[in-house]
Chains A and B, each alone.
Chain A
Amino acid sequence: MSATDDVLVSVRGLKTYYSIRGSFLDRLVGRTGAAVRAVDDVSLELRKGEVLGLVGESGSGKTTLGRTLLGLVPATEGTVEFEGQDITHASEHDRRLLRRRMQIVFQDPHASLNPAMTVAQAVGHPLEIHGLARGREEVRARVADVLERVGLAPAEQFMDKFPSDLSGGQKQRAVIARAIILNPVLLVADEPVSMLDMSVRAKILELMLALKHDFDLTYLYITHDLATAKFFCDRIAIMYLGRIVEIGPSEAIYADPKHPYTQALLRAIPEPDPRRTIPRDLPRGEVPDASRPPLGCSFHPRCPKAFEVCGWESRDLKELLERRWAGLDEEGFEAEQAAVGPMEELDVAKTHVRLEAHGGAHGSDLRGLLDRARAADPAEPFWTGVQEMRDANGALEIDWYDPVEPRLLPADSVEVECHLYDETALAEAAQRRQSRIPQ
């Protein structure tokens, strides 16, 4: 039995892009719509019998990845293999057959069940769709059986109820029942407990573990909650803006998180321990717009440990100035803004920009502004990315270093996509530091 026999799902170079239709004017002018890179070049393997966690915040692409696997969303590029077969562009007919072997449990138990169908009808419907049961009585018998399995017992009491008669936990059990009635091999669980109360979460997670043993299931567990993921998953993949930034065995990720984003996620989880206070050193800002991701490493604008190679660019300067101005008094802000103007040049992502001075100011005034900003916070990682600033009379020209694209590389027992663990990138950064013109 070779190692590949163990692999249930194999994803290679998967990209799922959504195109945004630009406005009419945009299309007239030729600016074709941008694409939201929901899943941006993801490769991973899911082994039989394991629980792989996909952890990330909103916009990370974890939900889209789950849906692409199931064929609910078409892949733009790359391949998905299931039980050795390429299913990326499976026909509708083949897809339908596949549905028997891979199922999904959604996040919102209150919305996953058809309000117009009773529990028996809803849970039994997969059997009817795939023609796996003869007659209403047989369907009912099998539904009763699976309802008991998920803890909705005595089944008779729940069969003819409508979703609105059930509690959140009971609904989620019904959803799970519906997912397993076909005896699937793979179960994608998209935030199955995040909308349930604390005291109910444990019950549903326990149920899922029991079902895993009884039915020999493989789980893809999608969540933003690292605490439940730690308990439930064998391996964890951390996603940020469509890419996997860290992946490895659970214990390794939690014991020694490598990527700054993973570290931040772990620090940010509220713990019911009053000796802890809310950490102060969290990454600033929020997940950026997925249709216009930052250059280089997507996390660099928020990363406390970013450096020369991470992909600094013009938009970072705009954010820096805005952050500065949020803390200034009104006169100071207005004086500085008058000199800088509307900053339109900074909206396009580039590594070289010519910032025009406004309101009678000179390039040197802009220079002075930036120097003051730097003096106020010298540890700000932004400055490591600035290669050169040149006074050009009515403007300031700024060059940033070219971004180095991050790569997913092994580091101890995990793989991480971060320049801090990339020897080549570190060497490049050192070289840049040495040859930097003193500013």
Chain B
Amino acid sequence: MATAAVRLQRRTVGIRRALAPIAEARGMARTMLWTGVGMTLVFVLLAIFAPLLSPYGFDQYTSGGHRFAQLAHPSHAHLFGTTVQSTDVLSRIVWGAQTELEVVGLALAFGLVVGVPLGLIAGYFGGPFDRGTVLFMDAMFAFPPLLLAIVIAFLLGGSVNSGVLVAAIAITITYIPQYFRVVRNHVISVREEPYVEAARALGAKPFTILRRYVFFNVVQNVPVIATLNAADAVLTLTALGFLGYGVQPTQGAEWGYDVSRAVSDAASGIWWTGLFPGLAIVLLVTGLTLLGEGLNETINPVLRRRSIRQVDFAAPSMDAGAELLEA
């Protein structure tokens, strides 16, 4: 009987193998990947530990009975200054990180849960279902994504209470076709591979084949797309917030909304209400993009550059000499 440790090692061998290229990454890919991870991690930590890290609440404008100064310069009390509504800019950045990541996380989850299985089924079984879904997805692709998100946020805003949910759904609708298409196309090529036919010859049921033979061989691209989508989702979310859709000011802090409020401040020379939320957006999006591109360069076998050690012709040859003879 194998020990528990050995069994665990056996069970995880697949995952460890899949992640191995990350350890082997070199050069540009490695820089991008780990820079991206670092930048994203900062915001993730901000989001998770918001209650601890943020000096004030996201819409808090008083403390101990005193109302905060309006549009105050960055100072010791308010590191990033305050807004026209007397809320602390820094706090709104921190809480905003939580909002962003909540929405983006939800949007990604929805997108994957809907898009990937649809792609698997449509690609493997083909037929009218496939044709119909492809038609539908292509139509969705044709919509300008931001416009589609706005329309959906607008339609749902009235009936769904949670702004986070509304924003997440609005954003995800534009990404589902991407996952669907990538997965479906990959499935169509994998479907013809001998090992899939071998699985049929063994008597495996179609869903077993999908689960064990097709799924793991088609999902390599998904993490890359998901990460890049996350970057795009942040932009879409902040755009929605800028226009007043999605997360409402009463429900949480949102950087895009803050930027929209800061537009009028800029004319008066007040820079901190706009700069910091803007910077936050840029940094998070850049971090996610670097992470995505770094992953792509690392995992994608076409782009992956194995580290190459220089060839040295002068290295000692294998001539073991007389010692071996005497052995």
Q: A residues bordering B, Cβ < 8 Å?
A: 70, 72, 95-96, 99-100, 103-104, 106-108, 111-118, 120, 125-126, 129-130, 137, 160, 162, 175, 178
Contacts and interface: CB of A to CB of B under 8 A. Distances in A.
Interface of B: 1, 10, 13-14, 17, 193-195, 197-205, 208, 212-213, 216-217
B202 A129 contact: yes
A114 B213 contact: yes
Given A70-B201, A103-B202, 19 more contacts: A72-B197, A72-B201, A96-B205, A99-B202, A100-B203, A103-B201, A104-B201, A106-B194, A108-B194, A111-B195, A112-B194, A112-B195, A113-B198, A115-B217, A116-B213, A117-B212, A118-B13, A118-B14, A126-B203
Contacts of A103: 201-202
Contact of B13 (A100, A160, A175, A178): A160
B189 to A, nearest CB: 12
Contact of A129 (B17, B197, B204): B204
Nearest to A130: B203
Contacts of A116: 14, 212-213, 216-217
A72 B193 contact: no
Contacts of B203: 95-96, 99-100, 126, 129-130
Nearest to B198: A112
In this complex, the member of A107, A111, A130 whose beta carbon has the largest number of chain B beta carbons within 10 angstroms is A111
B13 to A, nearest CB: 6
Contacts of A117: 212-213
Contacts of A120: 10
Contacts of B197: 72, 106
A100 B14 CA distance: 28
A125 B193 contact: no
Contacts of B217: 114-116
A113 B201 contact: no
Contacts of B216: 116
A130 B194 CA distance: 21
A195 to B, nearest CB: 11
A124 to B, nearest CB: 11
Contact of B204 (A118, A125, A137): A125
B201 A114 contact: no
A111 B193 contact: yes
Q: Considering the complex of A and B, which 8 residue pairs feature the smallest CB-CB distances, nearest first?
A: A99-B203, A116-B216, A111-B194, A96-B203, A114-B195, A112-B194, A104-B201, A126-B202
B116 to A, nearest CB: 16
